[in-house]
Amino acid sequence: MNEPLLQIKKLTKVYGSGLTKNKNTLVALQDFELTIPKEPAKIIAIAGESGSGKTTLANLVLGLTMPTSGEIFFRGKDVLDMDRKERKDYTRHVQAVFQDPYSVYNPFYPVKHIFDIALRNFKLAESRSQENELIEEALNMVGMQSQEILHKFPHQLSGGQRQRLMVARAYLLKPNLIVADEPVSMVDASLRATILDIMQKLRDDRVISILYVTHDLSTAYQIADEIYLLYQGSTVERGEVTEVIDNPKHPYVQALIDSIPDIKQKWSGEITALDDEQLRTRSDSGCRFYYRCPYRMDRCLEKKPELISVGKADHHASCHLYSDPPD
């Protein structure tokens, strides 16, 4: 059987428990499941508001934090149970692009430095000229020329250029998966399109899957194939991106899509301010969206809704509105 590229099973991350058995725990991610097939490459958007657990997920996949429970399999191997060699191989094939293109560079080195250390760490080139070739190819992928850019220092480049260089660096290592955590949120609107286009090219021409972590549903709609919407650590809705956004099922996702400003039309109707204390439900039972939900029912408090199929393709939502009432 064709084993998936990345498979995440029941992934849970709880902050603030540890040895002290502190009661103030925060469930950042709960029973998260996701599968990325080996082929075709896909862009998978992970969307949600701040505190929804999307960056926690990115950090878990990148191995920057350890999960509380659950498993991550990369090409069939458990990521948490790898030996040194496998681990290094994993860090090469799963690359990261972070949000802030200003703070990831060391200001004392010309930008060529980030390519050099990556190549040397994984010993990808045997000679200087081969090194240069690899770098040139990676730069061409993002529409840049080595002689124009490599000798420059980070402060001489715009945010958009720096972010393109970060994508080039990730591509240089020929990864299977790129985890891009808000890659365009700090890049100006008029330059954003270039980076999104590069991400699509990586998928279409180079068979690199991308985990696109974002709060911006409109860019996700433009480039992603699938979308996972998180709310307080749980997946509330997932599926094919056009299906989910054109036809949202979960009340939270409906409210979210309703609030996205559209330049051509003004928001219709009022939205009521939320009473904030009730938002942070600490209980594990019941639906986390209960207090904000316009359709809440008694059973939403009793039982946490499971992800169930709500439409065509792989469209799933976790809401009791779509489950059969208990008899």
Partner 1 sequence: MMDTKTADKNLERRQVALDLKDLNVHYETPEGDVIAANNVSLKIFRGEILGLVGESGCGKTTTAMAILRLVQPPGRVTKGSVVVREEVDIFNLDDQELRSARWKEIALIPQGAMNSLNPVMRIRDQIADVIRAHDGMHAKSELKERIAELLHVVGLPSRVGALYPHELSGGMKQRVCIAMSIALQPTLVVADEPTSALDVIVQRVVAQTLLDIREKFGMSILIIGHDISLIAQLVDRIAVMYAGNLVEVSPLKKIVEEPLHPYTKLLIESIPSITEKKPMRFSSGITHDLRNPPPGCVFQSRCDQVMDICHKVVPPLLEVDSDLQVACHLYGNDE
Distance CA 45, CA 54 (A): 10
Distance CA 267, CA 230 (A): 24
In the complex, minimum distance from the CB of residue 271 to partner 1, in angstroms, rounded to a whole number = 5
Which of 28-36, 103-111, 189-197, 299-307 is the region at the interface with partner 1 (rule: CB under 8 A)? 189-197
Distance CA 164, CA 142 (A): 6
Residue (132 or 194) nearer to partner 1, CB: 194
Residue (207 or 279) nearer to partner 1, CB: 279
Residue (19 or 273) nearer to partner 1, CB: 273
**Does residue number 136 form part of the binding site for partner 1 (CB under 8 A)?**
no
Region 227-256 residues binding partner 1, contact defined as CB under 8 A: 242, 245, 255-256
- Angle between helix axes 112-121 and 128-141 (nearest 10 degrees) is 120
Intra-chain end-to-end CA distance of the chain, in Å: 40
Residue (269 or 326) nearer to partner 1, CB: 269
- Please, what's the largest Cα pairwise distance for the chain? 72
Are 134 and 141 spatial neighbours (Cβ–Cβ below 8 Å)?
Answer: no
In this structure, the strands spanning 43-47 and 226-231 are parallel
Q: What is the dihedral of CA 287, 293, 298, 302, to 10 degrees?
A: 10
**Does residue number 274 form part of the binding site for partner 1 (CB under 8 A)?**
yes
**Does residue number 259 form part of the binding site for partner 1 (CB under 8 A)?**
yes
The per-residue b/e assignment along 187-199, b for 16 or more CB within 10 angstroms, e otherwise, is beeeebebbbebb
Residue (160 or 175) nearer to partner 1, CB: 160
**Does residue number 189 form part of the binding site for partner 1 (CB under 8 A)?**
yes
**Does residue number 1 form part of the binding site for partner 1 (CB under 8 A)?**
no
Among 81, 137, 188, 306, binds partner 1 (CB under 8 A): 188
Which of 81-89, 120-128, 153-161, 203-211 is the region at the interface with partner 1 (rule: CB under 8 A)? 153-161
Q: How far is CA 283 from CA 152, 159, 166, 220, in A?
A: 52, 41, 40, 31
Are 181 and 58 spatial neighbours (Cβ–Cβ below 8 Å)?
Answer: yes
Residue (53 or 70) nearer to partner 1, CB: 53
In this structure, the strands spanning 226-231 and 234-240 are antiparallel
In the complex, minimum distance from the CB of residue 233 to partner 1, in angstroms, rounded to a whole number = 15
234: how many CB neighbours lie within 10 A of its CB?
Answer: 22
Instruction: Give the total of residues touching partner 1 (CB under 8 A).
Output: 40
**Does residue number 262 form part of the binding site for partner 1 (CB under 8 A)?**
yes
Among 264, 285, 298, 327, binds partner 1 (CB under 8 A): 264
What the block records as the tokens of 316 is 């799933």
**Does residue number 196 form part of the binding site for partner 1 (CB under 8 A)?**
yes
- CA R_g for the chain: 21
Binding mask 157-176 for partner 1 (x = CB under 8 A): -xx-x---------------
In the complex, minimum distance from the CB of residue 221 to partner 1, in angstroms, rounded to a whole number = 5
Q: How many CA atoms lie within 13 A of 221 on its CB side?
A: 12
In the complex, minimum distance from the CB of residue 144 to partner 1, in angstroms, rounded to a whole number = 12
Q: Which residues bind partner 1 (CB under 8 A)?
A: 49-50, 158-159, 161, 188-194, 196-197, 215-219, 221-222, 242, 245, 255-257, 259-264, 266-267, 270-271, 273-274, 276, 279
